[in-house]
Every structure is written in C-alpha cells, then in structure tokens.
Chain A
Amino acid sequence: MTFRRKLLALFSLTVFLSVTLVAWLVSAMTRRAFDKADSNRTAALVTQFQREFERQGAEVAHQVEAVAASDAVTRMATMLNRASTDSSGYFELAKSLADGYRLDFLEFVDARGNIISSAQWPAKFGYPEATFVNLSSSDQQPAFLKQEELQDSTTLGLFAVRASHVGDRPIYIIGGRRLDKNFLSGLVSPADSRALLYQNRADRFSSDLLVDPAAGNAPAVTTRSADKLAPLIQAVRQSNQEMAVLIHWSADQADDELFHAVPLRGTGTERPLLGILLVGNSRRSYVELKRYIRDTALAVGGGGIVLAIFLSSWAAARVTRRIEQLALASQQVTAGNWNARVEVSGGDEVAQLAESFNRMTAELMNQKERLVQAERVAAWRELARRLAHELKNPLFPLQLTVENLLRARQSDSNQFDEVFRESARTLLAELSNLKGIIGRFSEFSKMPQPQLQSVQVNDVLRAIAQLFQAQLRAPGHPPIACHLELDEQLGAIPADPELLHRALSNLVLNAMDAMPNGGALTLRSRGANGKIIIEVADTGSGLTLEECERIFTPYYTSKQHGTGLGLAIVQSVVSDHGGRIGVRSQPGRGTKFIIELPRNPDTLRSVSAASPVSPGKG
C-alpha cells in the first residue's frame, strides 16, 4: 500500500471514528434527554392523575354533602327519627337523587348499618352495608377508594361518606363515582399518553379486569396483548410499590410503551390494594425522532465521510506528492542516476528533506566524481603498470638481442652474420609480440555500441556450445563435458547477438582455462521477473573472495598470460545491454557467472540513457 493510500485510509478512519463517536454521543445524549423528558412526562401525568383524583374526590365529597343537605334527605332523616316511620318509602330515593347529583353510587344507610336505599343495587335495601364499620368513621373525611359490589359485578369507585344528623339516629350517605372508562377518559393526558386501570379483584391477572378507555378503538389493549402487562401488575401486587416497565407491543420499537404503575389503596387499617393505575407513555415520537436523528446523522456522517475522503485524498496528494518525488528521486539514485533532483517548495520538514536529499545527491555526485577520478587514476596506473609489464617482457629480449648484436660486431665478425640473423629474428618476434600487445589494447578501447535486435538467448548458447565442442574434447586435453540447461519458454530479448556471443565466449574460455584437468561446463538459461538469467558454470579451481571482487576490473587477471580485459569486456557488454553480471565462486568448488538481461527494450533504453559512461569507452 502506498503512503498516499495509507494516509488516505488514516484520514478516512479518523473521520469515520470521529463521526461515529459524535453520532454515538448525540444518540446517547438524545436518549438521555428523552428518557428524562419521558420520566418528567410520566411524573407529570401521575401527578395530574393524583390531582384529578383528588379533584374528583373533592367533587364527589361535595356532591355527597349536597345530597346530605338536600331537602329530600333531611325529610327522610326527620321521618326516620320517628319511631313509627318505616323506611320502605325511601328505597327509590337514592336512585332518584343519584341521577340529579351525577353520582354513580349512592346509598343511604341507617345508624345500624342497614341499607335504606341503594341507587346502584336497589334490591339490596335492608341488607347491612359490608364496610359500614370503616365507612361510619369516614364522615367528613376526604374521598377514598372502595370496591363496590354490584348485582352482576364488582367495580372500583371513588367514595365519600357524609352523615345527616337530624335527630338522634344519623343517616349515612355514601356516594361515589365509578372508576371506569369515562373517569379515565376525563383525565386530560398529554399526547401519546394514556391511563389504564387494573382492578385488583382476582388472585391472578385477568385482562377482563383491565379498564381501557380506548377499548373498541384502535389501538386499544386487546385481550391477547393485555397479557404483556401481567408481569408488571403482578410485580406491583407483590411489592405494593410504584414500578415502571417498558412494554414491547410488537417487533416495531415505535409501538413500545413505558408503563408506570401506581398502586391504588383503599381505606381502613390494612389499606388493601384495590387497583393499579397504569400510565402509559408511547415511545413512538421518541423512536421516530431517534430514527430521524439517526438517519440524519447517517446522511450527514456519510456525506461528511465522502467529503472527508475527497479532502483527505487532496490533502494526502498534496502532502505525498513531494514525498513521492523524493521516493522517485531515490529510486533514480538507486538506479544510478545520482544526479536526480527534487523540487523544493515551502519551508516545512518535507522541503528540508528535499533540500537534504538534493544536497545528498550533489554530495554523492561529487564523491562519485572523485571516485571515478580516483578509479580512473588507478586504472591508468594499472594500465601503466600492465603496459609496463607487458612492454617490459619483449623489451628485455630486444635489449639483450641488441647488446648481443653489438658485442658480436665488436668481437667476432665471423659470427656476426649468424648473430645478426638470429638477432633479427628475435627482434622481429618481439616486435610482433609488442604489436600484438598494442593490438589488444586497441581492440579493448574500440568496444562498439550494441546493435539491438530480437535474439533468442537459447540459440546463442547452443551456438557457443557447438563452437567450443571441438576444443572441449580436443585430444591431449582432459575432456570437459558441456551441459545445456535451457528454458525453452524463454523467448527473445533485445540484444546484439555478436556482442552477446563474444561475451559468452569469453566466459566459456575462462571456464575452460579454469578446468585444465577437465570437468563440466554448464550453460543455463531461465526467466525471472521480467529478466533473463544466463549462467555459465564450471567445476574448475574456483576463485578467492578477493579475486571475485576484482575480477571485473580491467587489466586484472589471475592467469599467467592474461591481459585482464576479458571479463572487463564481458561486463561492458552486459552493462551496455542494461544487465548485470555477478560471480559466485569458492576455491576448489568451481565458479558460476550469472548474467541478468532485461526482457523489455524500454528498460534497456531507459537504463542506457541513464547509465554513466561505460568504462570500455573511456
């Protein structure tokens, strides 16, 4: 992965994490805010119900007081205080007054606790009021909850008790209103809120005991779904404390409803749990708003991420462009173009790096120049030493011959002719030798530029093997076996066949020189990563490490009569083809020359264009 992509990925990841973190924070804060608002709303509704409960209770108490103070009740109380008066004439009075005073329940109970008249159950006259003991002490007390038994059911009501003390025997007026759908509907509840009432009359939860003001209208709590409230109701019944539970009506979270259960207790010392008020807050608005926020956050976040990627890409390109220039320049330096330079812009660290790089390459160039100069001097010294050595050998016989000839002339004229002839032959031979030496040096200096064409390397190797076949098996010499290990899928490369043939021939000649006692010569070809590898291996005496390091130096030779130019020519040819040559050898274990040649002619051209002046040309 490139530095730009890494930088882009880093920027994108940073933006993504930032957006995710912000979204999470917003979501968490929103949820916390909604939970708080939800809690406040529930508390407000519960408080409102309690106020409404108290208000209704006060109204019930007021109405009951009004009934107690009415003329009809006063007359009844007056008449019933007379010993001879029968109460049977008043059994319909409660019903008639209940309608007028908007009371669902109204009973008149005498001082002994027997019902004189009952609006809700007229046939119950004469029967004792079951809760009379508690009720008689509730005179002038606020309204309270009470379960009222009816003909065919039991229901929950808000009651008040007042007494009419006309004579010695008071008449108790017990009036109330039913806690039913109408009562719950009368509660002014905020939007998305509702109130249900569970009448605690059975040991187990029963949906029939749930009073839902929306029953018959969607979305009423159906019988099947009402069972989901059972655990909450059961828990409140056991703990007798307020509780809140989130009810999942369906798989859709928007249908969720947070129910706050408030226990409703009756009067008396035991204060039994008579009912449970369920205040429900729909989560729909919250969920929808949360979804809206989430969708908006996703859209904004997504857009931000895309925008951030674009900006990051631009910033990364801006930042990495100079890095890439540095990298490219470094590659050029690596490839040998030490003269590579990068543009220096700005004053930041990258610019300082570019300046440093430029200074470094300039210093490298200077060092290279100095090195080349030093090498050139060394080469000239070596050349001079070699030339002196080469020339010194023929010059010494020439000198001796001339001195013999002079002495012969001075001493014995008879032998002079013979000495002269002998000396002339020797002089000619040595001059010929000097001429040969000069010719070889001249030839090395005239190495031609390669004329590239499509060359099958395998064909070249086969031709060389064929050429040296006779010498490898020459009589009087230990035989050398030649092995060809060629990759037939190799294909052609751009090369100068003559120069390539010459270079490989030099390697084969060196190999043959290295195997005076015979051995095996292997010519191998193979492809690797856009290159062609040519190996020339022998099983000869091998080279030392120092010889390996210096073997390609011109005029260096390990042989008795070598000029030291063979391998220098080979390196020059390979270098002119854009390739490289190396040697692997150990003393006594043979030597292997490895040539790497590029397949792509463009590589060759670029390398040729960038390559420094060949030593052969110098």
Chain B
Amino acid sequence: MKRFAWPSLVISSLLTVTLAAAGTRPQYGGTLHVAMRVAPATFDPSDNTQPDSFTRRNLTLLIFETLLTIDSAGRVHPALALSCQAAPGNQRWQFRLRRDVKFHDGTPLTAEIAAASLRAANPSWKVFADGDSVVIESEAVDPELPAELALPRNAIARRSPDGKASGTGPFRIVDWQPGKKLTLAAEENYWGGRPFLNAVEIEMGKTYHDQAIALELGRADLVEVAPEQVHRASMDGRHVSSSEPMELVALLFAREAKTSEEKLLREALALSVERASMRSVLLQGAGQPAAGILPTWMSGYGFVFSAETDLPRARRLREQVRAVPTWTIAYDPSDPVARLLAERVALNARDAGLSLQPAATTSPDIRLVRILLASDPWIALAQAGSVIGLPAPKINAGSAEDLYSAEQAMLATRRLIPLFHLPATYAAAGSLKNWTPGPDGRWNLADAWLESEKP
C-alpha cells in the first residue's frame, strides 16, 4: 500500500497541475461586450472638439497607436517607433519607424503619413519625414516630447480623402453607429500579434445604472463604475479594478480674480469645502481629497496642499470683505454625483458666509469640472493650465521643485479649487481573463481573453 501511495500521489498532482494550466491558458475567440457612458462622434485622435475621457483614450488606443508608450513609472517604450534619438539640447528628435506595419486599410505605415498625422494633431509643431524616420524640431527645449507623443491624441492615423481615419491598432472598425454602437474586429495582421479576442462590441450612451444591469444580466463583460458606486460594487462581489486617481474634480472660476477681496473670497470657499465628508458620503470613499492639481502618486508632494476644512479661517477671510456676491455654480447635469457635489459645496459655502447658488446657466461664475490628467506630471499640469486658460509651465530642470513651483503658481491664480482626484473604475465579468486596467486607466485589451463557457 505504501509502495503505491507515492506514485499515485505524484500522478494525481501532475494531473491537477495540468488541468489547472489548461484552465488559465489564453483562448482565442469570443466577442467582448463593453458598455460605456460617453458616445463620441468620431475616433480621429487629433479631433480636439471631442471631450477627453478615459473611454475615448481607450477607444483610440484600440484602433490607433502612438510612436511611443510610457508606463506608470514614466519609462518610455517603443511602439510604432522602434527608437528615438534626441539631438543635444532636446530640440530635435528623430523617431525611426517600425517596418512592415500596415494600416487597417492595407496602406503601409510611412514616415510621411506619420508626420502628417502628427502635424494634424499639433499644428504648431515642425514635423517632417526623413527616410524611414520622423523628425520633430522645436524652438525650445522639450524633454517631455516622448511623453507627449505617448498621449492618445498623438496616435498615428491615416486620413483618407473622405475624412475617415485608419489606424494600425490591434482592432479595426467593422461597424460604427455614431453615438450608439461600435463593433471592432481583431486585426489579423497586427504587427504585435493577433489579439485573443475576435471582436469587441461597445454599447455607448449607457448610464452607470444600465451598465451595472447589463453586467448583471451578462449582456456586458466590461462596464464602467461610478466612483460613488465602487464600494457597493465591491460589496456586491463584482470584479472591480481601478486606475490611479487621474481625474481632477475641481471648481473652476469663469474669470480671474481681479481684486484681492475676490481672492480672499475664493480662498474662503476653498477652505470651507468639506472634502473628507464629501468623499466619505458622496463618493463613498472613492478618490482622494485634493487641494493640488496633480495627484500625490504623480507628483509625490500632493500632501503639501492641505485639503482639510478650516471653517473659522474661511469665516475670517469672508469677514474681511464687505460685499459678498452671490456666485452661481454649474455642473454637468448628466453626471449624477456632480449635482450632489455642487450642492454640498454650496452648503459649505453658506456656513462660511458665502452665497453660492447651483444653477443651470450657460455662464456661471463657477463650474464644477472634471479634468482628465495625463500620466506625465508636466503634461498634466499643462492640461490643467489649458483648461484654466494659462500657458503651459516652463520646464527648466524638470525637477520636483520646479513642478511644485509651477503647480503652486497655477493655484495662486485662484482660478481653480481642486476637490478630488478620481480613478477610472471598471467592473468586469468573471469570464474576462488577463485583464487589468493600466495605472492611467488604459484597458489593455490586446492581451485579454474570454473564457469560454464550460460544456
């Protein structure tokens, strides 16, 4: 009995390991059903008329590719460009393109097409082809150019005469019903290897509630989760994954503070906001309270800007001002949490002696905005400055001190009162394997696969 025990145990163990490995082995095939809130009108990466969002970035990167990619640690990786070479002074960059890459319409990727695509996205840039390379020249030192090129908006697209954009990404467009549904199919000849998924069907314009129901009923494999629903979704046993907090929720004043009294009132407002309780209740613990533009994980010093409520000081500042105007605050009516945040801010402001009235007006004094930041801090700061209407900060040494100074200078204008940094959160069906969103909220569907149902 003892002689047969050990061999039997070994055999059974081997069988168990083999079966387990077969269960986690990637499978080709299947259609991934995705539901999402936004309904973009176009997928052209260079179209600046469309609002930026996690979803749009992900859709862009499913169909198109950038010259370079950048990871959460800020390291640059080759994509369509095999290599990049910077001239001394970082004023001239040369990117050598990967060979044998074709667009979805069969057109080979050339330096001319890539240069034209970059010029369309950045009209102020000096971009030209040089053999199989793309050369970008700038008048100022721009050490952040590789990170810039990794942004989805700088993805390479070939535009046909009728305006349609074709990409080189892992999926190609099969069917497109603007505002409703997008069907993508795996690109068989993708240079990085065919995706495991055969197709991706994306339902657009679905509310968070509809998405949750679709996931519950098995009609969707991947859905978005509102920040305030993350906790509940986790409690309900959903497979929830979040990115790093990359979306800044802030109060944006419509104009500059012209007087010192106005700045005092804006500072009083910033001090009166109960970020902690808002995060705890309205956001159900999601996101991070923010007093700075950049999240701490990105800048490393975010804690320096205090997000604590200081009502006594807010009142003292308010008392220094004789006449207090009634500000109107507007928010995105389609965003359910935005209304609550605006109303809570108005309540907090009233406690400080300020008058803030939520209103659905087109020209409010204050707007509750969401700013989707890039993963690069300098670029993120530039994005915030662009929203505020300030020029991009000058990058000197590119040190943390410089970044802090630039951010503090931007906050000192009192145009922006940061409230929270929110992550992008998704809930996936259990059948979706090898899928985790990137730190920047990227879907990374190229390596994900669907587990087939057991017979």
A interface residues (Cβ-Cβ under 8 A, vs B): 86, 88-89, 91, 121-127, 151-152
Contact = CB atoms under 8 A, between A and B. Distances in A.
Given A151-B358, A152-B357, A152-B358, A125 B343 contact: no
B281 A91 contact: yes
Interface residues of B, number: 16
Contacts of A151: 343, 346, 358
B231 interface: yes
B343 A127 contact: no
A88 B343 CA distance: 17
A86 B280 contact: yes
Given A123-B347, A126-B277, A89 B358 contact: no
A123 B343 CA distance: 6
Chain A to chain B: the 9 pairs with minimum beta-carbon distance, closest first: A123-B343, A123-B344, A88-B281, A88-B280, A91-B281, A123-B340, A125-B281, A151-B343, A126-B277
A121 B280 contact: no
A123 B282 contact: yes
B277 A89 contact: no
Interface majority SS (helix, strand, loop, mixed), chain B: helix
A127 B350 CA distance: 12
B27 interface: no
Contacts of B383: none
B284 interface: yes
B281 A126 contact: yes
Contacts, number: 32
Contacts of A121: 343
A93 to B, nearest CB: 12
21 contacts: A86-B280, A88-B277, A88-B280, A88-B281, A88-B285, A91-B281, A121-B343, A122-B340, A123-B340, A123-B343, A123-B344, A123-B346, A125-B277, A126-B274, A126-B277, A126-B281, A127-B347, A151-B343, A151-B358, A152-B357, A152-B358
Given A121-B343, A122-B340, A122-B343, A91 B357 contact: no
Interface in B281-295: 281-282, 284-285
- The residue in A86, A121, A125 that gathers the most chain B C-beta atoms within 10 A of its C-beta is A125
Interface majority SS (helix, strand, loop, mixed), chain A: loop
A126 B358 CA distance: 20
A123 B344 CA distance: 5
Nearest to B277: A126
Nearest to B285: A88
Contacts of B346: 123, 151
A91 B341 CA distance: 13
A125 B274 CA distance: 11
- The residue in B277, B281, B284, B341 that gathers the most chain A C-beta atoms within 10 A of its C-beta is B281
Nearest to B274: A126
Given A89-B231, A151-B358, A152-B357, A124 B347 contact: yes
A61 B143 CA distance: 69
A89 B277 CA distance: 12
A535 to B, nearest CB: 112
B253 to A, nearest CB: 21
A430 to B, nearest CB: 152
A152 B342 CA distance: 12
Contacts of B340: 122-123
Contacts of B282: 91, 123
Given A86-B280, A123-B343, 11 more contacts: A91-B281, A122-B340, A122-B343, A123-B282, A123-B346, A126-B277, A126-B281, A151-B343, A151-B346, A151-B358, A152-B358
Interface string B332-346: 000000001101101
B282 to A, nearest CB: 7
A122 B274 CA distance: 15
Nearest to B281: A88
A122 B285 CA distance: 17
Contacts of A91: 281-282
Contacts of A89: 231, 284
A151 B331 CA distance: 15
Contacts of B274: 126
Contacts of B284: 88-89
A124 B351 CA distance: 12
A88 B274 CA distance: 14
B427 to A, nearest CB: 18
Nearest to A86: B280
Contacts of A125: 277, 281
Nearest to A127: B347
B292 to A, nearest CB: 24
Nearest to B359: A152
Contacts of B341: 123
A151 B340 CA distance: 11
Interface string B343-379: 1101100000000011000000000000000000000
A460 B28 CA distance: 162
A127 B281 CA distance: 13
A125 B343 CA distance: 11
A125 B357 CA distance: 18
A123 B285 CA distance: 16
Nearest to A87: B281
A109 to B, nearest CB: 15
Interface in B250-309: 274, 277, 280-282, 284-285
- The residue in A88, A123, A127 that gathers the most chain B C-beta atoms within 10 A of its C-beta is A123
B208 to A, nearest CB: 13
Nearest to B342: A123
A513 to B, nearest CB: 130
Nearest to A116: B281
